[in-house]
Amino acid sequence: MSVKASMQMTEGFLWGCATAAHQVEGDSVDDWSLWEEGVGRIYQDQRSGAACEWWRGRFAEDFDRAATMRNNAQRISVAWSRIEPTEGQFDEAALGRYREMLLALHERGMKPMVTLHHFTNPIWFADRGGWQADDAPSLFVRYARRVVESLGDLCALWCTINEPMVLATQGYLFGYWTPGIKRLKAAAQVAANLLRAHAAAYHAIKAVQPNSQVGYAHHHLGIQPKAPAFWNRFAAQAADQLMNNAFNDAFLTGVFKLPFSQPVTVASAKGALDWLGVQYYQERLATFNPLKLGNAIGTQKPPGVPVGPDDWGGIVPENLFKVIERLYKRYGKPIYVTESGVPDPDDTLRPRYLAESVRAIWRALGFNYPVQGYFFWSLLDNFEWAEGYDPRFSFGLFRTNFETQARTQRMSAVLYREICAHNGISAEIIAQYVPDLLPKLFPGAPGAPQVRLKERF
Ligand code: BGC
């Protein structure tokens, strides 16, 4: 008897890639394009510039690439700065351009998931206080409502805000991103406003489009204490509360509680979620250094696992299972993996990363955890925020040559096509594309080294 082992997803599982407007569209005029003009903020002082030229029309050829990979879904974002370039004035031409993009996805058999906010803001919004202003949530909701009224016939799967805690901490606690503020109080205020904005947008979208499915994209940071010393454990708990729990817990309680901050009641957040998006990239070790006044909690790379460039942490894709389990047990919502990927220009880690992530999801489905789809970050190399076009931070299934705009397929793109076509992984796919993983994923498969029983016991 020959066994053809296979780890397949449920019928109707969504397979796709994720991108964000500012990172691929090019010719952006928003708070980030202004920030990029400052010295020392972006790798080699680069600017996003033409990016992947989607706004000039290249989205169509890249959607063809996604379709070739047998993707049946795609996560894109729309830019608030284009849709409402002046406060209160909506640009029909920009909305029309996004219609074209959504139609292009449908024509290629891909279901769109649209993110309304992926890190960037219109300049007028930033100028009047950005996410620190009290009326920021209501301004966001007016925009969100307008988008859903205009595009709701082409999209029913909405992601309100991408990684609010990353936006709040990078921009307002660590000061790496616009607006470059370094104050916990400011970060807490911004995070609370992002929560209010999400909750209000959730209710507004459901009112305009009752059959819509509305969620948000949560960045899940894997955090362990560096050593079991209690002070490092304390640091890990604080970092976990800040990055992983506080925002999500508000959907259960209506109360937002960041470490070292007063609880804030956001009653409208309670239950304001149809699904939870998880973006899981890296593991970090938390440390506590009482000598570093005001900056005592830090994180570092874990030993013994592959790590990314610069301070990018440990790359442990199989942990995606634990992350899904934890999120489902705590929040009980359907889950989409809205981003998952690895900075890897030579495509040495990505095939394994991809296969292990898919296996982690299959395991989760086997526990009846309702994972609905997987969106790989990213379809092609793009503008990686403060890392700009640093080649070490290449996340694409396709390589982008930013001088010529030529795209080259990486081996992982071929593997992803096989995975999407098969609705999962099989021993044959792994044997062909990631043979090193065969003993781990399919130990009984021909070609996988056999371990004798007596060696095991
Ligand atoms: C963000 C993306 C980013 C990716 C890789 C995610 O946190 O949503 O915009 O490019 O990580 O760093």
CB atoms within 10 A of CB 29: 14
Burial class of residue 180 (count of CB atoms within 10 Å of its CB; 0-12, 13-18, 19+): middle
- Please report whether residue 450 resides in a domain: no
- Please report whether residue 147 resides in a domain: yes
Ligand 1 centroid to residue 402 C-alpha, Å: 19
pTM of the model: 0.97
Determine contact, residues 259/238, Cβ cutoff 8 Å: yes
Ligand 1 centroid to residue 19 C-alpha, Å: 9
- Please report whether residue 452 resides in a domain: no
What residues does ligand 1 touch, defined as CB less than 6 Å away? 20, 162-163, 166, 219, 279, 339, 377, 384, 395
The CATH number given to whatever domain includes residue 183 is 3.20.20.80
Determine contact, residues 283/243, Cβ cutoff 8 Å: no
Closest residue (by CA) to atom 3 of ligand 1? 384
Ligand 1 centroid to residue 170 C-alpha, Å: 12
Ligand 1 centroid to residue 24 C-alpha, Å: 12
Atom index in ligand 1 nearest the CA of residue 163 equals 8
Q: What are the structure tokens assigned to 96, written together?
A: 């029309």
Number of domains comprising the chain? 1
Q: Which of 282, 385, 393, 400 to mutate to test the pocket of ligand 1 (most atoms within 8 A of CB)?
A: 385
Q: Measured between alpha carbons, how far is residue 249 from residues 222, 238, 242 in Å?
A: 17, 14, 11
Report the pLDDT value the prediction gives residue 347, as an integer from 0 to 100.
98
Structural domain range at position 48: 6-441
Rg (CA), the chain: 22
Determine contact, residues 135/177, Cβ cutoff 8 Å: no
Closest residue (by CA) to atom 12 of ligand 1? 384
- Please report whether residue 453 resides in a domain: no
- Please report whether residue 167 resides in a domain: yes
Q: Which of 310, 377, 382, 385 to mutate to test the pocket of ligand 1 (most atoms within 8 A of CB)?
A: 377
Report the pLDDT value the prediction gives residue 455, as an integer from 0 to 100.
52
Ligand 1 centroid to residue 151 C-alpha, Å: 25
- Please report whether residue 32 resides in a domain: yes
Q: Give dist(CA 6, CA 318) in Å, integer.
A: 17
Burial class of residue 435 (count of CB atoms within 10 Å of its CB; 0-12, 13-18, 19+): exposed
- Please report whether residue 457 resides in a domain: no
Atom index in ligand 1 nearest the CA of residue 341 equals 5
Atom index in ligand 1 nearest the CA of residue 217 equals 8
Determine contact, residues 73/63, Cβ cutoff 8 Å: no
Ligand 1 centroid to residue 332 C-alpha, Å: 25
Q: Which of 339, 353, 375, 383 to mutate to test the pocket of ligand 1 (most atoms within 8 A of CB)?
A: 339
Atom index in ligand 1 nearest the CA of residue 385 equals 10
Per-residue pLDDT tens, the chain, 457 aa: give them.
677 889 999 999 999 999 999 999 999 999 999 999 999 999 999 999 999 999 999 999 999 999 999 999 999 999 999 999 999 999 999 999 999 999 999 999 999 999 999 999 999 999 999 999 999 999 999 999 999 999 999 999 999 999 999 999 999 999 999 999 999 999 999 999 999 999 999 999 999 999 999 999 999 999 999 987 889 999 999 999 999 999 999 999 999 999 999 999 999 999 999 999 999 999 999 999 877 767 789 999 999 999 999 999 999 999 999 999 999 999 999 999 999 999 999 999 999 999 999 999 999 999 999 999 999 999 999 999 999 999 999 999 999 999 999 999 999 999 999 999 999 999 999 999 999 999 999 999 988 876 555 554 4
Ligand 1 centroid to residue 444 C-alpha, Å: 37
- Please report whether residue 88 resides in a domain: yes
Is residue 99 classed as helix, strand or coil in its secondary structure? helix
